[in-house]
Amino acid sequence: MHGNGGTLLWTTCYFIVLFGMSLYGIHRYFIIFLYFRNRHRAPQPPLRFSQLPMVTVQLPIYNEVYVIERLLAAVSQIDYPREKLEIQILDDSTDETTEIADREAARLRHAGFQVEILRRRNRIGFKAGALNHGLRQAKGEFCLILDADFIPPPHILQETVHYFTDPAIGMIQTRWGHINRSYSWLTRAQAILLDGHLLLEQTARSRTGRFFNFNGTAGLWRRSSIEQAGGWQHDTLTEDLDLSYRAQLNGAKFLFLSNIVTPAELPVDMSGFKSQQHRWTKGSIQTCKKLLPLIWKSRLPWWIKAEAVVHLTSNFAYLLLAFLCILLHPSDTKIATDGPGALIDLAIFAATTLPVAVFYLCAQRELYPKDWKREILFFPFVLALGIGVSISNARAVLEAVFNHESPFARTPKYGFALADRFRKKNRYASFCDAFPIVELLFAIYFTYFVVTALGNREFLSLPFLILFQIGFAYVALTSLRERGERRHFGVRDVL
C-alpha cells in the first residue's frame, strides 16, 4: 500500500485518513462488546398503570396514496381502549391522499375512534412542523409516532406504555422490522445495515446509560419530555436525533425495546435509498454542530460525552472514505505479504474493513440464529453498497459543515403490494440530481485499479478493489437506469 515517490504531504494525509477510519472501526468492536455484555439485561416496567393513560397516535402524512389505508387499518387494530386513544392524521398532502384520509377517518369515527385530521396552510418545518402543530392540539399524555410506511403491531401500546410508570422515562423506541426484506438485493442489504444499527447500537447505548436516539417513528414519547426539551425543531434534517439529545440533556431517560418489532417498508429504489441516506447523514452532522458544545458544557460523565462525540460524528467516516478513494493511486494498491508492511496492512484491515463485517454479522446471528449463515455470502454486496453511497454521503457531510441548504427530500413509499409496478408508472419518485455521473467516474477509476492490479499480479489487493468497483458501479448504474425509466414514463420528482 506504500507508493514509490509519494510526497510527505500525501503520506501524512493518507495515514490520517486511515487512522480516523480505524478509530470508528475500533468503536464498532466496542459497541459489540457493550451489546454482548448487556444483552440479557432487558428492562422491565416497574409498575403497571391501574388506569391506562390517554395516548395520541400521531401520523405525519405527505402524499402517501399507496400506504395510508394500510397505516390507518393497522392503527385501528391497536389493542387499547378507544376512549383512551386519539388518532391525529397530520396531513400535509397535495394530492388525492387527502380524499383517502377523509374517507378512512370517517370510517374510523363511525367505528367509535377519536380521529382528527389536521391540515396546515404550508409545510413550514416539514415533519417537525407537522408534529409540533399536532402536539399543540393533542389530548394524550403520551404520543405514539408512526411514519406512513409502518405497520404497528396490535400489542404495541399494551407492551410499552407501562414503562412510563417510571417518571424518568421520556421515550421508548421499538425495533423496526422489514416487510419487504427479500424484495431485492437492495432491500436485503438495507435490512442488514438497519439491523446492525437498531439491535447492536440501540441496545448497547440504551442499557449502559449512553445517549441514543429516537428513530423518527415507531416510538412512544412522554409529551412533557418533548415540551420541556423545547419541542420539535426544524433547523436540522434529523429532527428526531436533535430532540432526542435535547431531551436526554434535560434529564429524560430513553429505553430501546428490541423484543417489540414494528414492521416497515424499505425503499425499493436506489434514488429513494440515497435520498434517505443523504438526509440522515447531513442531519446528523447538523445536529453534531448544534449540540456537541452543549454536551461538553454539561455535567455528564466524560465517558458519556465521549460516546456522544463518536455517535454524532460517525458519519464523518463517509468523508474519510471518500478521501481514501481520492488518495489511492494504482501504483499504491499492492498489499504487503511479509515483513513490517504486512503487519501494517493487517492492522489496517482489522481496524477498518473487518469490524464492519463483524458488526453486521453479529446482528444477523442474534436476530436470525437459524438462518444467519446464509447471509455470509451476501456480505460483500452489503460492504460494496456502503462504499457505493459513500461519495453521496460525503457530499452530505460537506453540505452540513459549510451550511449549504438543500431541500427536505422525503422518501416516497409505494406499498409492498405495488412494489413490482413502481419502476414503471408510480406517481412518486425521489429527488435526484447529476451525482450518479460522479459515482460512475469513480467506478471507472477503480476499474483501472483492478486492471492495474491484475497486470501487476497483485491478487491480494483485488478483493478490496473489486468491492469499490462494484459498489460505485452498482449505485451509479442503478441510479441512471431509474432516472431513464422515470423520464420514459413521465414520473415527476417529489420532495
Place of cell 446509560: 209
What secondary structure does DSSP assign to 6-68, as a single string? --HHHHHHHHHHHHHHHHHHHHHHHHHHHHHHHTT-----SS--SSPPPEEEEEEESS-TTTH
**pLDDT at res. 349:** 63
Place of cell 427530500: 409
Give the pLDDT band (50/70/90) at residue 307. very high
Tell me the C-alpha distance between 218 and 179, whole Å.
14
Tell me the C-alpha distance between 197 and 314, whole Å.
12
Contact 111, 188 (CB under 8 A): no
What secondary structure does DSSP assign to 306-341, as a single string? HHHHHHHHTTHHHHHHHHHHHH--GGG-PPP-SHHH
Domain range list for the chain: 1-41+53-495
Q: Which residues contact residue 301 at a Cβ distance below 8 angstroms, ignoring those fewer than 6 apart?
A: none
CATH topology of domain 1-41+53-495: Spore Coat Polysaccharide Biosynthesis Protein SpsA; Chain A (3.90.550)
E strands, 241-391, are: 253-264
Contact 256, 203 (CB under 8 A): yes
Tell me the C-alpha distance between 379 and 121, whole Å.
46
Kind and range of the H or E element at 293?
A: helix 270-297
Q: Strand 169-178's sheet: what is its strand order? A: 114-118, 85-91, 55-61, 142-145, 219-222, 169-178, 253-264
The model's pLDDT over 263-289, given as tens digits with 9 standing for 90+, comes to 999 999 999 999 999 999 999 999 999
**pLDDT at res. 257:** 98
Contact 152, 351 (CB under 8 A): no
- The lowest-confidence range among 181-195, 359-373, 399-413 is 399-413
What are residue 55's phi and psi, to 5 degrees?
-125, 135
Higher pLDDT, 12 or 203: 203
Contact 307, 211 (CB under 8 A): yes
For the chain, give the longest Cα–Cα distance: 78
19's grid cell? 487512522
**pLDDT at res. 336:** 47
Contact 352, 346 (CB under 8 A): no
For helices 390-401 and 462-489, what crossing angle results, to 10°?
80
Contact 314, 284 (CB under 8 A): yes
Q: Which residues contact residue 239 at a Cβ distance below 8 angstroms, ignoring those fewer than 6 apart?
A: 127, 128, 131, 216, 232, 233, 283
**pLDDT at res. 350:** 64
User: Catalytic positions, please?
Assistant: 92, 240
Kind and range of the H or E element at 75?
A: helix 68-76
- Residue range 220-233: average pLDDT? 98
Tell me the C-alpha distance between 263 and 412, whole Å.
17
- Residue range 162-177: average pLDDT? 98
Q: Which residues contact residue 54 at a Cβ distance below 8 angstroms, ignoring those fewer than 6 apart?
A: 84, 85, 86, 139, 140, 141, 142
Provide the mean pLDDT of the chain: 89
**59 alpha-carbon distance from chain centroid:** 19
Tell me the C-alpha distance between 217 and 194, whole Å.
14
What's the predicted TM-score (pTM) here? 0.92
Give the pLDDT band (50/70/90) at residue 460. confident
40's grid cell? 440479557
Give CA separation, 8 vs 1, 148, 334, 345, in Å: 15, 53, 19, 19
Higher pLDDT, 460 or 399: 399
DSSP-derived 3-state class of residue 342: helix
The model's pLDDT over 22-52, given as tens digits with 9 standing for 90+, comes to 999 999 999 999 999 999 999 999 999 999 9
Q: End-to-end CA distance of the chain: give it in Å, rounded.
A: 43
Q: Of 377, 426, 378, whose CA–CA distance to 269 is shortest? A: 426
